[in-house]
Structure 1
Amino acid sequence: MGTPVENARTKRVHPVDEVLPIPKLAIYGFQHVVAFYAAAVLVPILIASALKLPPEDLIKLITAGLFTCGIASIIQAVGIWRIGVRLPMIQGVTFTSVSPIIAIGLAHGGGALSLLHVYGAVIVAGIFTFAIAPIFIKLLRFFPPVVTGTLIMIIGMTLLPVGAGEAVTNPLTGQPEPANIRWLLYAAGTIAIIVGIQRLFRGFMATIAVLVGLVVGCAVAYVLGDMNVGKAAEADLIGFTTPFLFGLPKFDVAACVTMIIVMLITAVESTGSTMATAEIVDKRFRTADLGNVLRADGLATTIGGVFNSFPYTAFSQNIGLVRLTGVKSRWVVAAAGVIMIILGFLPKVAAVVASMPNPVLGGAALTLFATVAVVGIQALGKVDFTDHRNLIIVTTSLGLALWVTSYPDIAKAMPSGLNLVFGSGITVGAITAVLLNIVFFHVGNRGPRVAGRGSIRLDEVNAMTRQRFTEVFGHVVQDVPWAVERAFEQRPFADTAALREAFQDGVLTGSSEQLLELIRAFPDLGAEDDAGHALAVDHVALFKLDEDEHNELVELATTYRQRFGFPLVICARETEQFDQVLRNGWSRVDNPPTTEKAFALIEIAKIANYRFSDLVADANPIAAARFSPLNQLR
């Protein structure tokens, strides 16, 4: 039955779009910066060390990285035109780029001058990523839950050793000392504080648990003499890294190709990170969103090359922070971006944050990375593991990812090109999952793909149990049992057209009572669930309504239900503007009941046809091309 309009909530702002009070924005944003900071500065530290850069250049790389990370995060969270996904995703330099950047630098003699070739390649790769975004989104059908869930889980699990390594590292010497109980107590104490706050407090205190854990851990370490603040004393109070600090970029073909490969790999990682974030914040992930993500990555990477930084992607520990705290607002990330930009002008303040003891940071990182892994496991809960192919995809991808993570020197045994792939467990796991999914579900003569983002073929549909058929196709007919069963009984289907026709017959040939049941199964326009999410969302015209528009829609739906006793059903995909939906609805209020019932069934048939097209378009390349205008509206 449809949800009564009387119970519909009038608040239309999704938690992702909620603008919090400035004090909360500042505190939550600072918490993101603290969680992100050490990992962000680690990339320039590794690169500077390998290329033998002097300490003053390292400080400039760190401040430049903070400045551009802030810009990149704002672009991704706030969005400009079709650039930026508008989700709470902190952007940082991807670790995938570290080894290739070092290789490019060493190939050109090392030192500061070698960075000119690095930045030339970074700029070209950024422009390339921006340009290929429309093409890459067409590959989304190759990322069903078995792939994305595996990728998200691998991201969390392969990063756990990073947190574990930090947790046993001497903060004064930088050397790992796993047998030193002092460092273990710092890490365990930080975790205990985070868990304790989550258990004992609610509301605001619970959301800043990670920040409190880090602050308390640092305070204890400082009192005990285990926090080295010497670098902060040496750093300048104010400074800024100017564009092209080391000179104008140089464009080497081999270096550019190498960095383009890095960005393609990063695009796969960005897909998993974006889907993980969308899953956490309960925001619908549309096909076009991935293109917006990649455009932002490409633009940010290009800016990074200009401002002496490197390629960008979403930072996984901050995704975990969103999940752990429950603070979903993208404006918190925008606030964090502003803080990072300010830190980019304050080398001394940045150096203080950089002096955070490794074991304290490692304890918090263990919690955050594990949280990301759990998100992946939850996504895999949607996968049918009675199908051995899905099991093989997950186990093989996870096994290879952990193999490379455990023994990173494997990359040295690989020829040029492949060593880039085997330099990261995340990359190996992601590519393995995608390739195995293609091999098992997109290659072979097992009938055309008809649903499940390419994982379900026609012969499998014909062999489905009633329950499985309902799980896959029930949404087409609003999960009304008799309509699904009517389509199910028409098996076997000769082709996709026959399957589509079965659903059309199902929604038009029921008894009078059944057809009324089908109409009443649709939600009222304007109705929302307990979390405030709109239930009737078959078209963009019903997304992001302001308060007045929502009230107008509720008034129309209420009047209509009082007049006819069933909800107003409109195939909103055939309208371009919200006003058209209103005009259509009000024009039908004066119809006779029998006429209006017929109108409703026609609209339902249209909705079912579009929903079926979505299933096909997600899975079938030909259908994807045919229905591409619909995909842009999803």
Structure 2
Amino acid sequence: MEFNEQKHSQAAILGLQHLLAMYAGSILVPIMIASALNYTSAQLTYLISTDIFMCGVATFLQLQLRKQFGVGLPVVLGCAFQSVAPLSIIGAKQGSGYMFGALIVSGIYVILISGIFSKIANFFPPIVTGSVITTIGLTLIPVAMGNMGNNVDKPTAQSMILALLTIAIVLAVNIFAKGFIKSISILIGLIGGTIVAAFMGLVDTSVVTQAPLVHIPQPFYFGAPKFEITSIIMMCIIATVSMVESTGVYLALSDLTHDKLDSTRLRNGYRAEGLAVLLGGIFNTFPYTGFSQNVGLVQLSGIKTRRPISYTAGFLVVLGLVPKFGAMAQMIPSPVLGGAMLVLFGMVALQGMQMLRAVDFKNNEHNFIIAAVSIAAGVGFNNTNLFTSLPNTVQMFLTNGIVIATVFAVVLNLILNGLDNSQSN
């Protein structure tokens, strides 16, 4: 009995580590989208809390090893960063209803194509995925810069000092810390920067005191879903990118745990992810994908069972039911968020560049063109004013850098390399 209790306590501690590793990445997505859509403090508290809750639900779904859904690996699901820009564009131009309507349809889309996705995986070799993930990081960096300047036209010296101090904390942890502490450097930077900001009188605690003690996530909190074809296409493209990202996470965990994946388990993993995205749309949160930072933690801990992740999912569900925890994220001043975001999105871009290192540029010069054009188009078209004369729905598509980079990379790879995956590696 004592041995089992010890095993459970160790699993709970490891589960808490996984929660801390993914927490910063998870709360940043709702904060960024809410900021773009000018949500109120009460709305943002609901959004963060429900998002945390749904991360737990999504992780529970993926931990299952059932006949029809669940990949059955120690995977943690969190908000997909690639959804920030398109959802912000849809919400700003058309309203929240269309944003969540597109999410609901994209979740159904993932469920429907889960069985055949392995057959179209050749559309996403490293030259495509590396280019797209690099673009994700690069297109989000300006958002970080805006927050560093407190999102005003004339940033103060105080804002910049706070942002730079946060960056310094994150860098110091990365340089001098090891193991688990290093893996939560972004979270430590957010906490450290906020503590410094509190001494500067820049932290508002009223959002925490005003937040309710307990809440239950509500379907369609922001109103009934609405549907529009361009928004739906955009989110289906983003969902496909998320599936590719999750595939990499599943395969890495399969290798670490020596638990071989077959096409049925991959299909079930995609189905669980699609169901999580569908539920995210219904409960007015965001799409979910396998978090790669937690893969490193599995390797670091050496514990390769699903039990610790079950605790992680449980902790997330409990935290999501207590809005005061969600409100705490609002205490973080914008310059602190911006400093942490700058490092985080730089890491995302570098992750894409590391994928591109696996690409054969020496013997296949076409890959230079694919990467160069798709990344340049993605970064260049992102939020451009080139298409202001076109209808809003067309503008939404053409000014989304991640979508444009994905389309360019897939199409150019098909034209120049065909479907022979070996030519792109």
Query: Which TM class, normalised by the smaller chain length?
Result: 0.7 to 0.9
Alignment of 1:195-344 (within 5 A): 195-245=171-221, 249=224, 255=227, 257-274=229-246, 277=249, 291-307=267-283, 309-314=284-289, 319=292, 327=300, 335-344=311-320
Alignment match, 1:69: 55
> Which residue is 2:149 aligned to?
168
* SS at structure 2 position matched to 1:240: coil
CA apart distance, 1:62: 4.1
2:190, 2:146 → 1: CA distance?
17
Query: Matched residues in 1 for 2:42 and 2:168: separation?
Result: 38
Name the amino acid aligned to 2:358.
Answer: K
SS in 2 for 1:43: helix
Deviation of 1:124 after TM superposition, in Å, equals: 4.0
The 5 Å alignment of 1:85-234 reads 85=71, 86=73, 88-92=75-79, 94-95=83-84, 96-105=86-95, 115=97, 122-169=103-150, 175=152, 177-178=154-155, 180-234=156-210
In structure 2, how many angstroms separate the alpha carbons of the residues matched to 1:333 and 1:304? Answer: 20
Which amino acid is the alignment partner of residue 317 of structure 2? Answer: I
Q: Which residue of 2 aligns with 1:4?
A: none
Measure, in 2, the Cα distance between the counterparts of 1:433 and 1:296: 27
Structure 1, 379-388 or 270-279: larger mean CA deviation: 270-279
Inter-CA distance 203–436: structure 2 relative to 1 (3 Å threshold): closer
SS of 1:21's equivalent in the other structure is helix
**Partners of 1:371 and 1:126 in 2: CA distance:** 27
Do the aligned residues in 2 keep the contact of 1:236 with 1:348 (CA within 8 Å)?
A: yes
Aligned ranges for residues 514-533 of structure 1 at < 5 Å? none
- Contact map agreement 2:194 2:331 (CA 8 A) in 1: no
Q: Pick closer, same or farther for the CA change 1:413–1:135 going to 2, 3 Å.
A: farther
Distance 1:381 1:20, change over 3 A: farther
> TM-score when scaled to structure 1?
0.56
Counterparts of 1:177 and 1:81, CA distance in 2: 57
8 Å contact 2:381–2:400 — kept in the other structure?
Answer: yes
Q: Deviations over 1:248-292 (max 9, x none)?
A: x56x6xx15345313321133214423554687666887667644
* Cα distance between partner residues in 1 of 2:408 and 2:74: 27
1:32 aligns with 2:22: yes
Deviation at 1:26, TM superposition (A): 1.1
SS in 1 for 2:115: helix
* Residue pair 1:137, 1:287 contacting (<8 A) in 2 also: yes
Closer, same or farther in 2 for the Cα pair 1:226/1:357, shift >3 Å?
Answer: same
Structure 2 residue 425 is the aligned partner of structure 1 residue 453: no
Q: Which has the larger radius of gyration?
A: 1
- The amino acid of 2:289's aligned partner reads A
Q: Counterparts of 2:262 and 2:345 in 1: how far apart (Å)?
A: 26
1:433 matched to which residue of 2?
409
Long gaps (5+) in structure 1: 1-18, 106-113, 443-448, 457-471, 473-634
Give yes or no for contact 1:194–1:212 (8 Å, CA) kept in 2.
yes
Deviations 1:292-319 (A, max 9, x none): 4542332112222332x1441338xx64
Q: Which residue is equivalent to 2:366?
A: 389
Query: 1:356 deviation in Å?
Result: 1.0
- What is the CA distance between 1:321 and its match in structure 2? 7.4
Q: How many aligned positions are there? A: 405
1:399 to partner: Cα distance: 0.5
2:321 to 316, 336, 345: 345
Q: State the match for 2:4 in structure 1.
A: none
SS of the equivalent of 1:380 reads helix
Residue 33 of structure 1 aligns to which amino acid in structure 2?
Y
Q: Distance in 1 between matches of 2:69 and 2:153?
A: 41
CA distance in 2, matches of 1:22, 1:455: 45
CA distance in 1, matches of 2:42, 2:189: 32
Deviation at 1:71, TM superposition (A): 1.7
Measure the CA separation in 2 of the matches of 1:162 and 1:118: 20
Residue 236 of structure 1: SS of its match in structure 2? coil
> Residue 428 of structure 1: CA displacement?
1.0
2:354 corresponding residue in structure 1: 378
Contact persistence 1:125–1:302 (CA under 8 A): yes
Distance in 2, matches of 1:344 and 1:62, equals: 8
- Check the 8 A contact 1:38/1:354 in 2, yes or no: no
Question: What SS does the corresponding residue of 1:314 show, helix, strand or coil?
Answer: strand
SS of 2:162's partner is: helix
Tell which has more relative contact order, 1 or 2 (C-alpha 8 A, sep 6+): 2
Aligned to 2:288, the other structure's residue is in SS state strand
SS of the residue aligned with 1:242? coil
Residue 5 of structure 2 aligns with which residue?
none
Q: Percent identity of the aligned residues?
A: 28
**SS class of match (1:134):** coil
Asked if the contact 1:324–1:368 (Cα under 8 Å) also holds between the matched residues in 2, the reply is no
Change (3 A) 1:421 1:339: farther
Report the Cα distance in structure 1 between the residues aligned to 2:271 and 2:359, rounded to whole angstroms: 30
Q: Is the 8 A contact 2:75 2:250 kept in 1?
A: no
1:365 pairs with 2:341: yes
Amino acid at match of 1:75: L
Matched, 1:23 2:9: no
Q: TM-score, normalised by structure 2?
A: 0.80
In structure 2, distance between residues paired with 1:182 and 1:289: 52
Separation in 2 of the partners of 1:435 and 1:395?
14
CA distance in 1, matches of 2:251, 2:422: 21
Structure 1 residues 404 and 279, CA, compared in 2 at 3 Å: closer, same or farther? Answer: farther
Letter paired with 1:92: C
1:500-521 deviations in whole A, cap 9, x for unaligned?
xxxxxxxxxxxxxxxxxxxxxx
Change (3 A) 1:382 1:245: closer
- Counterpart of 2:377, as a letter, is L
Q: Is the 8 A contact 1:146 1:383 kept in 2?
A: yes
- Pairwise CA distance, 1:148: 1.7
**CA shift digits 1:413-437 (9 cap, x unpaired):** 4446543432421111111100000
The residue number in structure 2 matching 1:398 is 375
Could you say what secondary structure the match of 1:91 adopts? strand
